[in-house]
Amino acid sequence: MPTPDAVDPTGVGDALRSGFLAAVARGLPLTTALRLGCAMATLVLESAGTQEYQIVPTDLLSRLLDAYGPSEAAALEPMLAELPRLPEYTG
């Protein structure tokens, strides 16, 4: 998933694996799982520091929709809807 906003590669591999494994654990196809992993990796790549990013389900779905189309976003939407809503990071 291309991004013009790459900041820091720290944690990108961990994010890719976490997205991939979370989707596989929920029984999603491997291609869909890899796409979630890529979206997670891109989110982390755009953040400075090891855990300074936030996963906002609607933003992640928008990225998936833009990169992979409506069918992939729809396949992941129920899983992402399960994520807890966290207070916004103010750093």
Active site residues: 14
Distances (CA, A) of 56 to 27, 30, 40, 60, 83: 22, 23, 11, 6, 9
CA proximity to 35, closest of 7, 61, 8? 61
